[in-house]
Amino acid sequence: MTEPLLQIKSLNKSFGALKATDDVSLTLYPREIHALIGPNGAGKSTLIKQVAGGLQPNSGEIWFDGRDVTGLSTVARARAGLGRTFQISSLAMEYTVLQNAVLGALGHSGAVWRFFNPVMGNAPLRNAAIAALERVGLVEHAAKRTADLSHGQRRLLEVAVALTLQPRVFLMDEPMAGLGASGSKRLTGFLDGLRSEAPILLVEHDMDAVFALADRISVLVYGKIIATGTAEEIRSNPAVREAYLGEEDAA
């Protein structure tokens, strides 16, 4: 197999006595979707935060594209090509949908130190933003204020902004949350195609989506990865069934 694009090497993070990330190692190869599942409080978002920046691990390393990025800031990692979407939508709420997408395109172009010409009149940025909105199906809401979007639409906008960054790797924290059944299905189809552009590290609660999409699945329980494997392997893994899927079956 080729070199992994993203590699997490024995990462540890504690909050006091709580081990939120306990010796986690994980790889993401080109063209793959690697899903991270686990019960609530297992430390999935904490892990994503450490990969994207914003939270420094106590020990361990994060390698991206052949170099150690553990010491880099969130900004530097984003510029290097880590495209993140948040579990709780993190958008500029006063802006229109289009403005949020243009902000992404602006970040990608890096041409932010311009002080005179209106950014919304900049054709390349605007086109990139509209193209991204079209792909997630938000283009008809482009002029809406972001604060007026539904929960699910905000999740889609998160994905659209990540698209404008043209990242090398997507880090997606529960993109399906709040989408509803049909929206979830649509996004599943979209992510399926997206993996050929850039691999996705996907945290997701929607098991249908995870089993439909993931090339590999890692199961995180109490900060520890208890199993990594294909959908089949995970389904038949007794430890996983006990720790996680069992609850789902019962429910």
Q: Which residues of this protein are in contact with other proteins, per CB under 8 A?
A: 52-54, 73-75, 78-79, 84, 86, 90-96, 98-100, 102-104, 106-108, 110-120, 122, 125, 143, 145, 161, 164-165
Rounded least distance, CB 75 to other proteins, Å: 5
Rounded least distance, CB 200 to other proteins, Å: 16
Q: Are 145 and 95 in contact (CB under 8 A)?
A: yes
Rounded least distance, CB 142 to other proteins, Å: 9
Which C-beta is closer to other proteins: that of 31 or that of 145? 145
Pairing mode, if any, of strands 67-68 and 59-64? Answer: antiparallel
**What is the chain's length?**
251
Which C-beta is closer to other proteins: that of 120 or that of 207? 120
Which C-beta is closer to other proteins: that of 113 or that of 251? 113
Which C-beta is closer to other proteins: that of 97 or that of 221? 97
Rounded least distance, CB 135 to other proteins, Å: 17
How far is the C-alpha of 120 from the C-alpha of 147, rounded, in Å? 19
| Rounded alpha-carbon distances, angstroms, from residue 249 to 143, 227, 242, 245, 246 | 43, 19, 10, 6, 5
What is the 3-state secondary structure of 8-27?
A: EEEEEEEECCEEEEEEEEEE
Rounded least distance, CB 33 to other proteins, Å: 20
Which C-beta is closer to other proteins: that of 52 or that of 234? 52
Token duo for residue 71: 């010491």
